[in-house]
């Protein structure tokens, strides 16, 4: 981070469109570790048709997922995003599924050692009840020469994350 220009919602959305994990972006912006605060866990439950399409359920005929909802918070307490996720349990590496259901580890961080990549499906600047950016993406893991979708992640990033953040 520098001190030359303030980051706008448009600039943050552009970083997300490049495929960066939001947790990594938030850590850079705040200079702090990012943790999750999970409010609700659910599943197994049926995926919607759109979720099945985005997670390519045709690969293994899986039609159920698990979900989490909550927020991401910087170590100093600042809320950096309201988040939701849906994932296919059988596509996750051993140990990740139980961690997602019992701990507050951020989804992207739980998959980092397995080589996770994020494909941005949407990231746009908004001005809606304190939200600066809305985004969602697909998290993919390597499977041989292929990248297989394992999860969907949605973020609503509050204005407060950009307030006073400078970079350059």
The CA distance from 34 to 165, in Å, is 16
Q: Is residue 156 very low, low, confident or very high in pLDDT (cuts 50, 70, 90)?
A: very high
In-domain check, residue 2: no
One DSSP character per residue, 3-21 reads SSEEPPHHHHHHHHHTT--
**How large is the average pLDDT for residues 47-53?**
96
pLDDT value at residue 16: 93
- Would 1 be classed as within a structural domain? no
Q: Which domain holds residue 79?
A: 7-163
Q: Residue 164 has what pLDDT?
A: 53
Rounded mean pLDDT of the chain?
89
Strand residue runs (E) in the chain: 5-6, 34-46, 64-74, 79-87, 117-128, 131-143, 146-158, 166-167
pTM: 0.89
Can you give the CATH number for the domain in which 92 is found?
3.40.1410.10
Residue-wise pLDDT for 139-149, tens only, equals 999 999 999 99
């Amino acid at each position: 981070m520098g001190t030359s220009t303030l980051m706008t919602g448009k600039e943050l959305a552009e970083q997300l469109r490049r495929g960066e994990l939001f947790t990594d972006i938030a850590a850079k912006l705040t200079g702090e570790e990012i943790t999750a605060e999970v409010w609700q866990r659910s599943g197994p439950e049926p995926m919607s048709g759109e979720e099945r399409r985005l997670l390519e359920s045709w690969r293994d005929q899986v039609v159920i997922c698990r979900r989490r909802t909550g927020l991401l918070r910087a170590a100093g307490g600042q809320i950096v995003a309201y988040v939701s996720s849906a994932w296919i349990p059988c596509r996750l590496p051993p140990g990740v599924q139980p961690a997602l259901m019992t701990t507050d580890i951020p989804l992207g961080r739980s998959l980092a050692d397995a080589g996770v990549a994020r494909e941005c499906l949407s990231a746009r600047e908004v001005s809606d009840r304190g939200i600066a950016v809305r985004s969602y993406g697909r998290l993919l893991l390597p499977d041989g020469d292929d990248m297989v979708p394992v999860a969907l992640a949605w973020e609503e990033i509050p204005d407060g994350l950009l307030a006073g953040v400078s970079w350059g």
